Structure 1
Amino acid sequence: MTSANQPQTATLYRMVMDKHVCPYGLKAKDLLHRKGFEVEDKWLTTEQATDTFKAEHGVKTTPQVFIEGKRVGGYDDLRHHFGMTVADPKATTYRPVLALFCMTALMALAVSYAVFDSPFTIRAAEWFVAFSMAALALLKLQNVESFATMFLNYDLLARRWVPYSYLYPFAEGLAGVLMIAGALNWLSIPVALFIGTVGAVSVIKAVYIDRRELKCACVGGASNVPLGFVSLTENLLMIGMGLWMAFSQSSAAMAM
């Protein structure tokens, strides 16, 4: 029994080799320290030592944590032991999109402040949409093949003409970059309106009419973002940006 003033102890077996230090071992050690444990840190310095340890304890992975002589398990098991959540890599989540929109919003405010000495301008709102388009295109362009495969599940035009699924991220990125620069509006506006309208109609049909449960290709082909509100928002932003820029351009021409 440990006294109230004496910290609990835990034994941690983790891989620490010349060319590999197990990241989960480091995370387990840090978590134990944050929970007030004194850690007896046992290094497994060779593949042979690791295999021997696994065979002796009947486990398939390391690290392994023992508290008061009882095996708790690996890093995820340790989080369960402390009543903490463990992320499910297959679970659907909106976090990637929320992170992207937060960063592009901050970027737009920062650029507006740098150019106009105020973060809150109409141009900041325009830059937010344009930065978001460019960032979303970047994520798609990391693996165009994977994006195209997921995109073909629901996009109406891509299902009729497969090359569109490969062209889409390039078109979105081009429109976004041109809108950031405020250049070649004659090209960026129709591109944004076209891909945004086709995308919005496709999402509405797949999700709200056909009631299909699909993953969204908006942040690339490896995401767990559910198709629906986020993808529809992406397309509506492109449509809104295109219409706004067309209106601004016509208003400026009339004022001349």
Structure 2
Amino acid sequence: MVMPGHICPYGLKARFLLRRKGLAVDDHWLRTREETDEFKARHGVESTPQVFIDGRRIGGYEALRRHFGLHVKEEGETTYRPVVAVFAVALLMAAAMRWAAGLPLVSAELVASFVAASMCLLAMLKLQDLESFSTMFLNYDLLARRAVPYAYAYPFGELLAGVLMLSGQGLWLVVPVAAFIGTVGAVSVFQAVYVEKRALRCACVGGGSQVPLGFVSLTENLMMVGMAVWMGLRLAGTL
């Protein structure tokens, strides 16, 4: 459909994919609602675009991807892509900050900045839809089940700890906050996944994620505990 105020994004994707596969494209535009309705009725379909290859109807954009053997995300499909994206961006941010400051890239401080940046990004994703996050979080967090407001407070505590870690300030506050929420989170995930054997979705990247609860969420919490210990030692002058 190519209409005033609307150009079908799936049509653009389908055309791009066909050309990428080396096919010549005869692109028929549906310019009005009447043309669109007539096209659907003529071919007995409910949506556009529709792709035909050598006279045989393939279907819409997702059907075209399947035709070429490409992955099509199914409803409810689990994926680790959001977490990989968060950790990759956090690492790049941490490295960029040290590079800009003229500091060595390979160091314990790089790891600390990476963990802090990861916490900030993960907290941001949770805060995008606090209601959805808190609902999913209540499925497995032991403390939140006893005190529901904790489910709403958790992302703010994670964000506070991450920001203060990046600034290097307020370690007297960072250490107990990170140690507390990290320990409670780790115990909760271990209990739900490895003791009770429950198949749940992880709220670590927000309430709408399809990331399985398990290793990723456990890692997030253990990173916070590890950072709390490391910064506690620095605060005590041991490191």
Alpha-carbon separation, structure 2, partners of 1:101 and 1:224: 17
1:45 corresponds, among 2, 20, 31, to 31
Determine the structure 2 residue equivalent to 1:35. 21
Alpha-carbon separation, structure 2, partners of 1:70 and 1:88: 24
Determine the structure 2 residue equivalent to 1:10. none
User: Which segment is superposed worse, 194-203 or 112-121?
Assistant: 112-121
Partner deviation per Cα, 1:212-249 (whole Å, 9 max, x = no partner)? 00000000000000000000000000000000000111
Partner deviation per Cα, 1:3-45 (whole Å, 9 max, x = no partner)? xxxxxxxxxxxx1111111111001001111111111110011
Alpha-carbon separation, structure 1, partners of 2:104 and 2:168: 19
Determine the structure 1 residue equivalent to 2:116. 130
- Give the letter for the 1:99 counterpart: A
Alpha-carbon separation, structure 2, partners of 1:251 and 1:20: 62
Determine the structure 2 residue equivalent to 1:3. none
Determine the structure 1 residue equivalent to 2:224. 238
1:164 corresponds, among 150, 159, 175, to 150
2:177 corresponds, among 177, 188, 191, to 191
Alpha-carbon separation, structure 1, partners of 2:34 and 2:150: 52
Identity percentage of aligned residues:
60
Task: Name structure 1 gaps, 5 residues minimum.
Answer: 1-14
Alpha-carbon separation, structure 2, partners of 1:112 and 1:123: 9
Q: In angstroms, what is the RMSD of aligned CA positions?
A: 1.1
State whether structure 2 residue 57 is matched by structure 1 residue 63: no
State whether structure 2 residue 141 is matched by structure 1 residue 155: yes
Partner deviation per Cα, 1:109-159 (whole Å, 9 max, x = no partner)? 111121234212222111001001111000000000000000000000000
Structure with higher Rg: it is: 1
Alpha-carbon separation, structure 1, partners of 2:70 and 2:232: 51
Q: Secondary structure at the match of 1:76?
A: helix
Alpha-carbon separation, structure 1, partners of 2:42 and 2:206: 43
Determine the structure 2 residue equivalent to 1:5. none
Q: TM-score when scaled to structure 2?
A: 0.97
Partner deviation per Cα, 1:182-231 (whole Å, 9 max, x = no partner)? 11111111000000000000000000000000000000000000000000
- Give the letter for the 2:90 counterpart: T
Alpha-carbon separation, structure 1, partners of 2:14 and 2:104: 45
- Give the letter for the 1:184 counterpart: G
State whether structure 2 residue 104 is matched by structure 1 residue 118: yes
Determine the structure 2 residue equivalent to 1:9. none
Q: Secondary structure at the match of 1:40?
A: coil
Alpha-carbon separation, structure 2, partners of 1:162 and 1:178: 25
Alpha-carbon separation, structure 1, partners of 2:68 and 2:112: 46
Alpha-carbon separation, structure 2, partners of 1:245 and 1:116: 22
Asked if the contact 2:175–2:229 (Cα under 8 Å) also holds between the matched residues in 1, the reply is yes
Q: Secondary structure at the match of 1:44?
A: coil
Q: What is the CA-CA distance between 1:86 and the residue it aligns to? A: 1.4
Asked if the contact 1:203–1:232 (Cα under 8 Å) also holds between the matched residues in 2, the reply is yes
> How many pairs does the alignment contain?
239
Alpha-carbon separation, structure 1, partners of 2:16 and 2:73: 18
Asked if the contact 1:111–1:124 (Cα under 8 Å) also holds between the matched residues in 2, the reply is no
Q: TM-score when scaled to structure 1?
A: 0.91
Moved over 6 A (4+): none
